[in-house]
Structure 1
Amino acid sequence: MVEALHSDEVHEVIAKSPPWYKNGNLVKLYLLLTAPLLTSTAWGFDLSLTSGLQAVDQFMDNFGNPTGSKLGFFGASMSVGGLVACILGGTLADRFGRRGVCFVGAALVLGMALMQTFSTNFDMFVGSKMIIGFGGNLQQLGGPVLVSELAHPKQRVLVTSLYNTSIFIGLILGSWITYGTYAIPSNWSWKIPCLLQVILPAYQMTLIWFCPESPRWLVTRGRVEEARSILIHYHGNGEENLVVQAEMQDILAGVEADATQMKFNKEGISSILGSKGNRHRLWICFWTAVGSQAAGGSLIATYLPKILDQVGMKTSKEQTLINAIISICNWLTAFLAAFVIPRIKRRTMFLFSTINFNLVFVVWTALTERYIATERKSFGIAVVVMIFAYNFFQTMCWISLVIAYPLECVTAKQRGVFFAFTMFIINATAFVTSYTTPMLLDSMSWKYYVGQCVWNCVYIAVIYFTYVETSGMTLEEIAVVFDGHEAFEDARMHAREELKMKMERDEMAEVEEKAVKQA
């Protein structure tokens, strides 16, 4: 029986653990985690349709060519459903577990994809998108949390960073399917992409129940032995090795050290807002959520056809093809960046990405003004180049870290509710930007981009002065950045002693059992 670990040994033990592909049970775990990992893929598929279908003449003609506020609400409809999901989903995920909300969300997405396909009017189509937003956000509240809390500590940052990159797989599938069907001379030009949405949620509904529950959630519910068994089976490959003991020690210490009461009463709210560390966590969650939707990326994702209209690229073929190519480039950038993020400091990555994409946006704004003034095709082509350059700098950071960074900044007790708060802000910001963007583009044209450039400068200042560094730490150790070392180290010592006593009892029981068998 091995001894419990001291704090200075934890990182060494994790670093020396064997590669994941040499642990058969860990390979199985990562295969099972494809169910929650594909949540962003399903989300990206529908997002691609939001933008791509606007370039399909059969779709626009069938539903009366919506414009202005009507088109704005179409683009924002998923966010409306998402806002409701975020109000309810955090509490549901904490009460019933991460897997349950993933299953319910997938079932809603599947049902509403069918409703979209056979919609008889635009209001019915938009209504189904709202409920897809509700179901998709339920999945988003459970999926990344489950991935983050189940991944082996050696691969946690990589796996969590990869989570949101799969949104581009959905965008690629949706955009290329739309490109392949736009020329069909019937309503099946848009119905086929909508119908194909059912495949991913059907897969998730089937596989999610074979995936284990989060050990950290089980510990917060007092089910310590279940959590320990999951870690032994998957992370220890059936053995209670040093890595498993290090994880259990830190999970128990993290839960004990966290004084937050996740209850919506006076005492619970006071424990959340009364702590300077918790207020800082909420601040980071808020600004990361806002930045993911209000820094210009959602403008391209949702209203690319209108942007291309401004620079003379107005045919369905041009718009759907550019949309499809952008999705591939974005996925490659985000996927490769996920392998780099574990080796680079988080705050540095945020600053590098945001400063560079804002510089690109300034050039993009100037080129758009020049095209509108002169209608020279070269300026229009240059704008498309700037769109690709913007996406490169934005996706290298903001796709992966918008999920990974808020999740690692909060504790096991807080993770469900605080991440629901993050997703609520994401959806609220997405609604505002999606609803107002088409109207502002119509009324302000290229001048709308000037305000975006100014806002991005404000955001750079927020990152520089308030974001914290979390690289190189376990999930539980990150708490000391916000709450100080003393509480966690005391709890870690207490957990270490408890684990040591338990191991001694197990060892004595094992000796007694052998003695009985020999007798």
Structure 2
Amino acid sequence: MGAGPAVVANGATAYSHLLDPRPWYKNTRLIVLNFWIAIMLITSATNGYDGSMMNGLQSLTQWNEAFDYPTQGKLGLLNAIQNIGSLCAYPFGSYMADGMGRRFSILFGATLMIAATAIQTASQSVQMFIGARFLIGFGLTFAATAAPLLVTEVAYPSSRGQATSLYNTLWYLGSIIAAWTTYGTFAIPTSWAWRIPSALQALPSVIQVLLIWFVPESPRWLVSKGKEERALQILAYYHAEGNAQDPLVVYEFEEIKAAIAFDRGIASNVGWLSLIKNPGNRKRIRIIVALAVFSQWSGNGLVSYYLNKVFIAIGITDPTTQLLINGCLSIFNFIVAIGAGLCCDRVGRRPLFLTSCVGMIVFWTAQTICFSIHQETGSIAAGHAVIVFIFLFYGFYDLAFTPLIVSYSVEILPFALRAKGFIVFNFVLSLSLIFNQYVNPIALAALQWKYYLVYLFWLCFELVFCYFFIIETKNLTLEETAAIFDGSEGMAQIHGKAAATAGLAHYADEIEEKETRSEIPSLETTN
């Protein structure tokens, strides 16, 4: 893989001149690598499938009859139990990903989800259905913890941001499949109307179990376990067409080794307390926890799991119409989120987050006004306008809070804390989901349109937080991104060692020049 032109432009990575100048689709090894990355990305589709499936099942008479028309607390438990299962697995997820490898963790989680989905499909009682959904959530934790880590750690440097951003975007692929599956099975008069969608939830896991054996392991994990030769082979095979002496591979390999050595030096015992031991890690956790909460408390939770309740409240009661709108909304979300994820390195993380927050405030306000008008006057036009503003609201939500919440959380963490920090993200996200799934149907029934005001005030808070605490990380390596949270000392040690060993002495000067021009922001100054 030949080096491209030696250009370090504003905002470009310091090793941009080492990248292959060809598009990825003209490089056979990158095509194969991106295919393996796609296999890992579909982990998110399982989770997205669940939310849309539960929305669709609530509109199926066959499912309601089978489980005695669940409402409020019982319905909340049916939706929340998967996340309760996820919570129970979190204490073990990071240890498996760090101890046994990213691939093994994905395989274990996918296998457990296949078994649980079989039980869900065969359910003869609501208790059996709830138990199966608990096991699906339990298995999902292991796969969902390891998959985005492996994606971000194995991806080609210039496509890492887009690849990791697509992880959460694939939530909508699962959502689309579930929405249209339940729409298609609506006419089946038997229990197979809901059993078929239940069975299809296992499809992403089946694909992963069959193909995970061929997916490359994380070079960073291999280096951390002393398997440096294997790590170098993977980097060379996929990033430089097998050339272990390629300048990019040499640079990546030495930077990874230096970063892991630095992490060990500042945290010899990398336990859970390491997440809050120093100022840099506390800044990371503050952002990660906030993004996890924002991703579920932006008003989207009201639509994701209880869209049919919103439909009924605005006068749309026909199940076929409900399922059709649900399917169209999933496709719309998927298209917008894919576009935003692919643009994250061009536009930047911070502009996407701020634009997303402003747009959500505008269209949530519009939803609230139209919802209140319909409730007070029964206006059909106002009820239909709510649907329009739901689409527009989600369009802005999908700019940042679908593609970036996972990629941003993963990329700001150093390797030694990446799995544990991502567990914290998922733990907080699940708590937020469980709260929403229990509270939303009860609060919506009690407060009607006034409940929308709670989310409106919260969205304003999200905008303020993102303005002050989200910093730009586009076009930086994982090691660069993580090091900016630890100050100039972390940057100097990691890049100094990497540059010296790789014979790229000019790199340290470029990093210093970048810092002087403030292209790599310091959290100490922004905060």
With the length of structure 2 as denominator, give the TM-score of the two structures: 0.90
Aligned to 1:169: 173
Aligned to 1:310: 313
**Deviation (angstroms), 1:491:** 3.3
- Provide the rounded CA distance (Å) in 1 between the counterparts of 2:499 and 2:360: 46
Report if aligned partners of 1:81, 1:133 keep a CA contact under 8 Å in 2. Answer: yes
**Deviation (angstroms), 1:278:** 0.4
Q: Which amino acid aligns with 1:33?
A: I
Within the candidate set 29, 42, 46, 1:42 is matched to 46
Larger radius of gyration: 1
1:174-197 C-alpha deviation (Å, 9 max, x unpaired):
100100111211111111111222
CA distance 1:270–1:188, shift in 2 (3 Å): closer
Q: Are positions 1:30 and 2:34 aligned together?
A: yes
CA distance 1:271–1:163, shift in 2 (3 Å): closer
- Provide the rounded CA distance (Å) in 2 between the counterparts of 1:231 and 1:83: 34
- Provide the rounded CA distance (Å) in 2 between the counterparts of 1:16 and 1:473: 17
Q: Are positions 1:256 and 2:261 aligned together?
A: yes
Higher relative contact order (CA 8 A, sep 6+): 1
Q: Which amino acid aligns with 2:214?
A: F
Q: Which amino acid aligns with 1:261?
A: A
Aligned to 2:508: none
With the length of structure 1 as denominator, give the TM-score of the two structures: 0.92
Aligned to 1:217: 221
1:227-277 C-alpha deviation (Å, 9 max, x unpaired):
11110111111112111112112212221222453857xxx4554322100
Aligned to 2:239: 235
Q: Are positions 1:421 and 2:424 aligned together?
A: yes
1:317-337 C-alpha deviation (Å, 9 max, x unpaired):
111111011001111111111
- Provide the rounded CA distance (Å) in 1 between the counterparts of 2:429 and 2:336: 22
Q: Which amino acid aligns with 2:125?
A: N
**Deviation (angstroms), 1:133:** 1.1
- Provide the rounded CA distance (Å) in 1 between the counterparts of 2:412 and 2:489: 18
Residues 325-404 of structure 1 aligned to structure 2 (within 5 Å) = 325-404=328-407
Residues 46-445 of structure 1 aligned to structure 2 (within 5 Å) = 46-240=50-244, 241-258=246-263, 259-261=265-267, 263=269, 268-269=271-272, 271-445=274-448
Q: Which amino acid aligns with 1:59?
A: W
Question: Alpha carbon RMSD of aligned pairs, Å?
Answer: 2.0
- Provide the rounded CA distance (Å) in 2 between the counterparts of 1:262 and 1:458: 37
Q: Which amino acid aligns with 1:410?
A: L
**Deviation (angstroms), 1:225:** 1.5
Deviates more, 1:276-285 or 1:290-299: 290-299
1:312-363 C-alpha deviation (Å, 9 max, x unpaired):
0011111111101100111111111112111112112111101111211111
Q: Which amino acid aligns with 1:45?
A: Y
- Provide the rounded CA distance (Å) in 1 between the counterparts of 2:208 and 2:15: 34
Aligned to 1:464: 467
- Provide the rounded CA distance (Å) in 2 between the counterparts of 1:51 and 1:169: 15
- Provide the rounded CA distance (Å) in 2 between the counterparts of 1:23 and 1:493: 31
Report if aligned partners of 1:14, 1:154 keep a CA contact under 8 Å in 2. Answer: no
Identity across the alignment (%)? 35
Aligned to 2:512: none
- Provide the rounded CA distance (Å) in 2 between the counterparts of 1:208 and 1:319: 37
Report if aligned partners of 2:77, 2:438 keep a CA contact under 8 Å in 1. Answer: yes
Structure 1: 5+ residue runs without aligned partners?
A: 502-519
Deviates more, 1:307-316 or 1:191-200: 191-200
- Provide the rounded CA distance (Å) in 1 between the counterparts of 2:86 and 2:340: 27
Report if aligned partners of 2:117, 2:199 keep a CA contact under 8 Å in 1. Answer: yes
Secondary structure of the residue that 2:157 maps to in structure 1?
Answer: coil
CA distance 1:271–1:74, shift in 2 (3 Å): closer
Equivalent residues, number: 495
Deviates more, 1:280-289 or 1:34-43: 34-43
Report if aligned partners of 1:17, 1:243 keep a CA contact under 8 Å in 2. Answer: no
Deviates more, 1:398-407 or 1:337-346: 337-346
- Provide the rounded CA distance (Å) in 1 between the counterparts of 2:469 and 2:503: 39
1:15-47 C-alpha deviation (Å, 9 max, x unpaired):
554322232222111112222111111221122
Report if aligned partners of 2:168, 2:403 keep a CA contact under 8 Å in 1. Answer: yes
- Provide the rounded CA distance (Å) in 1 between the counterparts of 2:366 and 2:16: 47
- Provide the rounded CA distance (Å) in 1 between the counterparts of 2:272 and 2:435: 27
Q: Which amino acid aligns with 2:195?
A: K
Secondary structure of the residue that 1:184 maps to in structure 2?
Answer: coil
Report if aligned partners of 2:60, 2:319 keep a CA contact under 8 Å in 1. Answer: yes
Residues 445-460 of structure 1 aligned to structure 2 (within 5 Å) = 445-460=448-463
- Provide the rounded CA distance (Å) in 2 between the counterparts of 1:364 and 1:406: 30
Q: Which amino acid aligns with 2:267?
A: Q
CA distance 1:260–1:359, shift in 2 (3 Å): farther
**Deviation (angstroms), 1:450:** 0.5
